Amino acid sequence: MTTVTGLFDDYQDALGAVRQLEAIGVPRDDISIVANNSDNWYRDDETSEAGEDAAAGAGLGALVGGAGGLLTGLGIMAIPGVGPVVAAGWLAATAVGAVSGAVVGGAAGGIVGALTESGVPERDAHVYAEGVRRGGSLVTARVDDRLTGEAERILQGERSVNLDERRSAYVSAGWTGFDDTAEPFDIEAERDRVRRTTPL
């Protein structure tokens, strides 16, 4: 198994990537999504039954294991340094350490740790976590080796963020790495900046 990850500025693009991964045969249980929700685009009253169970304290077991699958099993949680996120899947469960139906602290560092533990280079994991902090959506999949090439094309395609370019943009603005003690980011300002600097 190989871990393949992609960062998207737009949640709909991330959702499209999830659907493409499913279409090539990646099992739902092997796909995760973590999307910034600082601007409340996703509300608890829109969640599926699985998401409602998670919000009520049933934990990520219900969130991930809902009968509707990953895309309908989204729920809201808070991550230090990022703020509220909409998340589902194995990475979210690993990152927040769901224990007996409760979400424990340290989730932001947990995203970096969960990514690196699954094989993502730490340098990249920091950029992915910062991307979510700044309003992005992260899709991560554990894929069978025979599907790795196709999964990489999906998650690193034209609608995804070019990780090296994004890292350079962050560094040129003084960023040195993901900090889970940082204040949540001004998402609207960041989205405006990305729109101005990203070619159509």
DSSP 8-state code for residue 45: G
The pTM is what?
0.77
Residue with structure tokens 């049933």?
58
Q: Would you tell me how many other CB atoms lie within 10 Å of the CB of residue 167?
A: 18
Q: What is the DSSP string of 149-191?
A: HHHHHHHTSTTS--HHHHHHHHHHTT--S--TTSPPP-HHHHH
Check residue 153 and give its pLDDT: 96
Task: Give per-10-residue mean pLDDT for the chain (200 aa).
Answer: 94 93 94 86 52 35 39 66 79 56 44 85 94 93 95 94 95 91 76 71
Check residue 71 and give its pLDDT: 53
Nearest to 108 by CA among 177, 188, 14: 177
CA distance 29 to 65: 8
Check residue 128 and give its pLDDT: 95
Check residue 73 and give its pLDDT: 58
The tokens for 141 are: 């999949």
